[in-house]
Chains A and B, each alone.
Chain A
Amino acid sequence: MSPEPTVAEVGIPAALFASGVTKRFGHRLVLKGINLSVAPGERIAIFGPNGAGKSTLLRILSTVSSPTTGRVEVDGIDPEQDPREARRRIGVISHYPYLYGDLTARENLRFYGRMYDVPHLDDRITRMATRVGIAARLDDRVDTFSHGMQQRLAMARAVLHDPEVLMLDEPEGGLDQDGLNLLVNLLTEPESGRRRAAIVVTHHLDLGLALSDRVAILVGGRLAFQSTSGELDAASVREHYSRHTSPAYASARGGPGK
């Protein structure tokens, strides 16, 4: 499928754009040509079985890793040219909380706030902490937090710098309904009301559908299916998913990556 143009009709760059992205580890080709475009404010869920390359793709999109060939652009910025500006626009929520256990919640947020050049940091921290419901525990050490509270803090950390794009790597671990609601809530920036773009990588179909406008299915390093914007029919997505990941389909194509 051909990539959508970087500059959409209204002349605004895509929040995230990937063109011809491949990733090779030694001789293993894990990603085999990913073309993806996410408009500002758009949410996309990427489903895929284990070993499809989801984490690898997310690492490349979040600029931690670089593609073997191909290009990534964040809000029109090439991370190879200007990594700092690209990273500034990205927030990541992963199964690692990215939190320092011996430091307090406030110290964690202050650290990341400084690293991301967040203006009016202390105010921002207070407001975000209230938003995610940990304001009372701001000065407690993070290793005294329950798993749920750590997740909330991780969410606050991820959006502290008001990123254009939020990336979620398999957020289903330990998220209750409240946590999920909070996540959806944070997809909109509280101060400006700006809708963040989001990329949710998951193999949990219902969760992905709840969070997104569009879906894609990653199988064997390729995007086997991408829906267009519009009404998402959970049943049809489910059907696409089973079809693309079924053993019969897989063996017909010579076997996806293990």
Chain B
Amino acid sequence: MRSYLDKVLAIVGKDVASELRTREVLSSMFVFAVLVIVVFNFAFELNVENNEAVAPGVLWVAIIFAGMLGLNRSFISEKDRGCMEGLLLCPVDRSAIYVGKMLGNLLFMLTMEAIVLPIFAAFFNLSVFDPKLLLVVLLGTIGFAAVGTLFAAVAVHTRTREVMLPILLLPVAVPVLVAAVKATGEAIARTPPSTPGPWLGVLVGFDVIFLTVAYLTFEYVFQE
């Protein structure tokens, strides 16, 4: 057990160290997220009146599309450098590779969000230091990273690679999108609803279910 955890942390550490050297993934995710927010401004003519209605959606579209950049890279870089095989040769449970990669992806997405949220708050004139909002962002990101890491591993074994990830991930991640947007809306509302919706429950449920399913099925992605 101790050894398992150590290997998971070794994988996370390696990915973080690599990213700290190059900063490619974080910077591209961050820039992309901001671009999405800006583009939405022109696409939907955002103004102070429709702010609250559109803001949650804009935020989550930005997070999801930027997130997919990071998810793709987590396995494609391994495969391209031939390191995937080196990792598979190691005496480590495939599920540990999943946990390690998932935590790394989660860390990158949360870091990106930590920078994007204040910018988002500024654009939409909202407060970002709301514990409920932060909780929603955390839970939603966990769910997205849970399935995203699994599907990124699937996608890297296909001919179309980067393109395959959104095709597989977006339909399955709909519950996350729906719940996260709704919950974000409730969190930032000037007049919060009297009875909050079941959104946090949906997110927690999604996270638990798909972390488990991904953990159990990950090893089969590498069978040949």
| Chain A directly contacts chain B within the complex, with at least one CB pair under 8 Å | yes
A interface vs B, CB < 8 Å?
A: 62-66, 83-88, 90, 92, 94, 96-103, 107, 111-112, 114-117, 141
Q: Are A88 and B85 in contact (CB under 8 A)?
A: no
B interface vs A, CB < 8 Å?
A: 3, 6-7, 10, 13-14, 17-18, 21-22, 81-83, 85-93, 223-224
Tell me which residues across on chain B come within 8 A of A94, comparing CB atoms: 82, 85
Tell me the complex Cα distance, A84–B10, Å: 17
Given contacts A97-B82, A98-B85, A98-B86, contact A103 B92 (CB under 8 A): no
Tell me which residues across on chain A come within 8 A of B224, comparing CB atoms: 65-66
**New A-B contacts (15) at CB < 8 Å, excluding given A85-B91, A88-B91, A107-B17:** A62-B89, A64-B89, A65-B224, A84-B93, A86-B91, A90-B89, A92-B89, A94-B82, A94-B85, A99-B83, A100-B81, A100-B83, A114-B7, A115-B87, A141-B21
Q: Are A102 and B92 in contact (CB under 8 A)?
A: no
Q: Are A83 and B21 in contact (CB under 8 A)?
A: no
Tell me which residues across on chain B come within 8 A of A86, comparing CB atoms: 91
Tell me which residues across on chain A come within 8 A of B83, comparing CB atoms: 96, 98-100
A-B contact pairs, 17 of them (CB 8 A): A64-B85, A65-B224, A83-B91, A86-B91, A96-B85, A97-B82, A98-B89, A100-B81, A102-B21, A103-B17, A111-B13, A112-B86, A115-B7, A115-B10, A115-B87, A115-B90, A117-B91
Tell me the complex Cα distance, A100–B91, Å: 18
Tell me which residues across on chain A come within 8 A of B87, comparing CB atoms: 115
Q: Are B89 and A84 in contact (CB under 8 A)?
A: no
Q: Which residue of A lies closest to B77 (CB)?
A: A100
Given contacts A103-B14, A114-B6, A115-B7, contact A66 B223 (CB under 8 A): yes
Tell me the complex Cα distance, A232–B105, Å: 53
Number of A-B residue pairs, CB cutoff 8 Å, is 70
Min CB–CB distance A125 → chain B (angstroms): 14
Q: Are B89 and A87 in contact (CB under 8 A)?
A: yes
Q: Are B22 and A102 in contact (CB under 8 A)?
A: yes
Tell me which residues across on chain A come within 8 A of B86, comparing CB atoms: 96, 98-99, 112
Q: Are A103 and B18 in contact (CB under 8 A)?
A: yes
Tell me the complex Cα distance, A84–B224, Å: 18
Min CB–CB distance B224 → chain A (angstroms): 5
Min CB–CB distance B27 → chain A (angstroms): 15
Min CB–CB distance A110 → chain B (angstroms): 8
Tell me the complex Cα distance, A92–B86, Å: 9
Q: Which residue of A lies closest to B9 (CB)?
A: A114
Tell me the complex Cα distance, A126–B17, Å: 21
Tell me the complex Cα distance, A125–B14, Å: 17
Tell me the complex Cα distance, A87–B25, Å: 32
Tell me the complex Cα distance, A115–B14, Å: 11
Tell me which residues across on chain A come within 8 A of B89, comparing CB atoms: 62-64, 87, 90, 92, 98
Tell me which residues across on chain A come within 8 A of B22, comparing CB atoms: 102
Tell me the complex Cα distance, A171–B136, Å: 52
Tell me which residues across on chain B come within 8 A of A92, comparing CB atoms: 89
Tell me which residues across on chain A come within 8 A of B82, comparing CB atoms: 94, 96-98
Tell me which residues across on chain A come within 8 A of B88, comparing CB atoms: 64
Tell me which residues across on chain A come within 8 A of B17, comparing CB atoms: 102-103, 107
Q: Are A101 and B91 in contact (CB under 8 A)?
A: no
Tell me the complex Cα distance, A107–B13, Å: 10
Tell me which residues across on chain A come within 8 A of B7, comparing CB atoms: 114-115
Tell me the complex Cα distance, A170–B17, Å: 31
Min CB–CB distance B131 → chain A (angstroms): 36
Most chain B Cβ neighbours within 10 Å, of A86, A87, A98: A98
Tell me the complex Cα distance, A63–B222, Å: 12
